[in-house]
Amino acid sequence: MTAPNQGPALRTTPLHAVHRRAGAALVDFAGWEMPLRYTGERAEHTAVRERAGLFDLSHMGEIHVTGPQAADLLDYALVGHLSQVAVGRARYTMITAADGGVLDDLIVYRLADHDYLVVANAANAAAVLAALTERAAGFDARVEDRSADYALIAVQGPAAAAILAPLTDADLDTIKYYAGYRHTVAGRPALLARTGYTGEDGFEIFLTPGTEAPAVWAALLEAGEPHGLVPAGLSARDTLRLEAGMPLYGNELDPGTTPYDAGLGRVVKLDKPGDFVGRAALEAAAKAGPARRLVGLVARGRRPLRRGNPVLCDGREVGSVTSGAPSPTLGKPIAMAYVEAGLDSGSGAFSVDVRGRAEEVDLVDLPFYKRGR
């Protein structure tokens, strides 16, 4: 008799034992065993909005692109104009197929003149690595997967800077949004970046080697205790990004979606010189305009709106929900959805079909939540 096939073992981050000791609910996320929640997603979400939350993001992919033509390679491989990014700054961008469909959305950090760090979503890291490697042919540049060397911790929320300040040699007031520099955190070397995925101020801390993560995590929790810092899981991160109108790959973005469909045409730099993968298709998409657009929905009732629910206008199906959840901040169910491009809030009565029942909704512009508003 043979044992049943249990499938491949889930990968774990350097903080896995820390999460277990904290009693986190652990789940399979893109092949990684990750914390879904610690005490509860609503409490963790609210902590980030009002105080601060601590996230383990070590499942993300880290790809280094180096060499004399690293900038030229990224200008060709990605839709952004990465050669124009200053050293110490970061850029949100995308990698697309030749037909303009999104393969992943990325953050790219320029660490030095010929040294870039490309951060990919966990589920797409292998595909991004393969695409960059293929597109590097003919360029004097090296593409190297360094994901196994890194741990990534994020501290997000209004108190993030106050918590981090006594633990780092960086003057946090001088680090602008979407900037990242080499500093120390809790005595360990780190790339410290003012980036995040919550709609709040905050920092992401890239550590190499990743084995330094437990000590840095513990130091942050200790420093954050007077400020109400709590560890937060993937569930809170999802509702935070949803309120902030930030897309999730696999929901709002996929190979059948262009940046223009998602309302993110600004990341496509058609004015940069030379060719890039997807240019012809994206030029055509920009000229034609999208057939659908990404909108926000706020329910008038209490039933949650979920991915895949049809969106109706005057009873006619006009789109589909891509992400939905009860919003702890708004106190109402919210969703993002793709609808026909010509529709707006004055086009008719909108509703969402939730298991055969039409739930009235208001169509709104994204984001649902903006810091300081």
**pLDDT digits 0-9 by tens, 119-138:** 999 999 999 999 999 999 99
For residue 358, the one-letter residue type is A
- Look up residue 5 and give its two tokens: 């096939």
Q: β-pairing, 53-56 with 230-231?
A: parallel
Give Cα separations from 64 to 117, 120, 167, 279 (angstroms): 5, 11, 27, 24
* 90-112 pLDDT per residue, tens: 999 999 999 999 999 999 999 99
- Of the candidates 183, 160, 163, 159, the residue with the CA atom closest to the CA atom of residue 171: 183
Tell me, what's the pLDDT at 8? 79
Distance CA 147, CA 84 (A): 25
Determine the pLDDT at residue 99.
98
Question: What mean pLDDT is reported for the chain?
Answer: 97
Amino acid 373: pLDDT = 64
- Give the strand pairing for 357-364 and 292-299: antiparallel
Tokens standing for residue 181: 């520099």
**DSSP symbol at 89:** B
Residue-level pLDDT at 1 = 37
**Do 95 and 107 meet the contact criterion of CB atoms below 8 Å apart?**
no
Round to whole Å and give the CA distance between 69 and 83: 10
**How far apart are the C-alpha atoms of 82 and 67, rounded to whole Å?**
14
From its phi and psi, is residue 180 left (phi > 0), alpha (psi between -120 and 50) or beta?
Answer: beta
Segment 209-235, tens digit of pLDDT: 999 999 999 999 999 999 999 999 999
Over residues 193-222, mean pLDDT: 98
Q: Please give the domain boundaries of the chain with CATH numbers for all domains.
A: 16-57+150-243 (3.30.1360.120), 61-145 (3.30.70.1400), 291-373 (2.40.30.110)
Nearest Cα neighbor of 262 from 192, 191, 341 is 341
Section 187-209 average pLDDT: 98
pLDDT of residue 3: 41
What letter would DSSP give residue 186?
Answer: T
Average pLDDT in the 9-15 region? 97
DSSP three-state, residue 278: coil
Please tell me the distance from the alpha carbon of residue 51 to that of residue 177, in angstroms, as a whole number: 19
The pLDDT value given to residue 103? 98
Amino acid at 128: V
| pLDDT over 80 (residue 66) | yes
Distance CA 167, CA 52 (A): 16
pLDDT, residue 7, reads 63
Q: What percent of the chain has pLDDT over 70?
A: 98
pLDDT at 4 over 60: no
Cα 290 to the center of its chain, rounded Å: 23
Query: Average pLDDT in the 201-205 region?
Result: 98
Is the distance from CB of 119 to CB of 109 less than 8 angstroms? yes
The residue assigned the tokens 């890239």 is: 206
Q: pTM surpassing 0.75?
A: yes
Rounded CA separation 225/209 (Å): 26
Q: Looking at residues 249-263, what average pLDDT do you find? A: 98
Q: Was 62 annotated as part of a binding site?
A: no
